[in-house]
Homo-oligomer: A and B are copies of this chain.
């Protein structure tokens, strides 16, 4: 580990070597999503100024937008008081953060004992992901 990586060691990583990372729209303040980062993901995020997460399901680095083009340009990176949560302030390219084609991932709203879907699909996922 080089001296210049000391900042990475300040983060209180989980036993699995991860930290939750919240992505917030730098302009509107909307919370877009929460994902996880490992050491390498956070380092790459800093180096490239684009959000890189660790996909727990695919078990690999996930450069957000690598398929969809909906990358997140990172304007600011913050760490919380307990040094175990990251907050990214980002410019969300395409205005779509969610894999469902919505602006953000928090589109299920609690109402009278139910989760009600509230936000529109801006783009059909079939058009976003060309598989």
Contacts and interface: CB of A to CB of B under 8 A. Distances in A.
Contacts of A10: 115
A95 interface: no
A128 interface: no
A29 interface: yes
Contacts of A31: 22, 24, 31, 87
A109 interface: yes
Contact of A34 (B4, B22, B106, B115): B22
Count copies of this chain in the complex.
2
A98 interface: yes
Task: Say what secondary structure dominates the interface of chain A.
Answer: mixed
A78 B30 CA distance: 13
Contacts of A78: 106-110
Interface string A55-96: 000000000000000000000111111110101000000000
A122 interface: no
A100 B81 CA distance: 8
Contacts of A113: 4, 6-7
Contacts of A33: 80, 85
A86 to B, nearest CB: 9
A24 B108 CA distance: 16
A93 to B, nearest CB: 19
